[in-house]
Amino acid sequence: MTHLFEAFNIALRMIVTGDSVVFSIALRTLLIASTSTLAATLLFVPLGCMVHFSTFRGKRLAVGFIQTMYSVPTVFVGMLVFLMVSRSGPIGGMGLLFSPWAIILGEIVLIAPIITGLTISALQSTGKCLEDTATALGAGRGIMILKVLTEAKYTMLTSVLMGFGRAVSEVGVAIMVGGNISGYTRTLTTAIALGVGKGETASSIALGLILLFLAMMVSIVVNLLQHGHGGEK
């Protein structure tokens, strides 16, 4: 117990004094998760909009499928991406395996369903009502879409944040396709996995607290957005 207490103390000191190893890992994690989230946002928020605003056969089935994929296991995505980017895989020639780019690719795949699905949900919850009203008032389709997007923007941003939250805290993809290379592909989660195994309790706790902080920040911002649309107006 004293051992744990001591380790906790050292961990806090590491955070307060800005331990360079701990913070470079945190920064790298942030960079990788942000890049994946940005790419996934640019790809899948528009996709979610397209799905919502178009009508096609099997739409309900498609949306259901996307929502089912929210819980795709990270190690499954890790395995798929490993087989894709390994030298003997289909895009192995790009030499992505064991680089941050492989992790980014995996995280994009991982959070694609969340961002697409939650974007659709956000637009749906804004309501058929608004769409009908806008149309009834004689607004063209373009104006109607713009109205709905404006109304749903904060809820849509929530979907992006949820994606970021999953990307920053996942370990399966990062360890399988990143390889936990010191100074290159080591992220908060993989560093913790290694550190606990090696009995490096203090630094693991420090990394864990930072990860917890990041994950909680996401929840807090999501909460702020959902209640009162944040303070940026």
Partner 1 sequence: MKRSLAVSLFLLAFVFAGCGEESEPPQTAEAAAAVEKVSESAATPPMARVERLRVATTTSLYDTGLWGYLEPMFEDRFDVELDVLYAGTGKAIDWGKRGDVDVITVHSRAREELFVSEGYGVERVPFAYNYFLIVGPADDPAGISGMNPEEAFAVLMDNGEAIFVSRGDDSGTHGKEKSIWTAAGFDYDSDVRTAGAWYVEGGSGMGPTLVMANEMQGYTLSDIGTYLAYQGDLDLVPIVDQGDALLNVYSVLQVEASGNPELSLALVEFLTSPDIQQLIGNYGLEVYGIQLFTPCAGQEI
- Given a contact cutoff of 8 angstroms between Cβ atoms, the answer to whether 149 and 49 are in contact is yes
CA 228 to chain centre: 23
**Which residue number, 56 or 232, has a Cβ lying nearer to partner 1?**
232
Binding site for partner 1 (CB under 8 A): 18, 20-21, 23-24, 27-28, 30-31, 34-35, 37-38, 41, 86-88, 92, 95, 97-98, 100-101, 149-150, 152-154, 156-157, 160, 179-185, 197-199, 232
Q: Within 10 Å of residue 88's Cβ, how many Cβ atoms?
A: 6
Closer residue to partner 1 (CB): 41 or 74: 41
Compute the least distance from the CB of residue 185 to partner 1, in Å: 8
Fill in the DSSP letter of residue 180: -
Q: Which amino acid is at 111?
A: I
Count of CB atoms situated within 10 Å of the CB of 230: 13
- Tell me how far, at minimum, the Cβ of 41 lies from partner 1, in Å: 7
Minimum gap (Å) between residue 204 Cβ and partner 1:
13
> What does the alpha-carbon distance between residue 47 and residue 45 come to, in Å, rounded to a whole number?
5
Nearer to partner 1, 38 or 69 (CB): 38
State in angstroms the smallest separation of the CB of 20 from partner 1.
Answer: 4
Q: Can you tell me the distance from the alpha carbon of 170 to that of 75, in angstroms, rounded to the nearest whole number?
A: 9
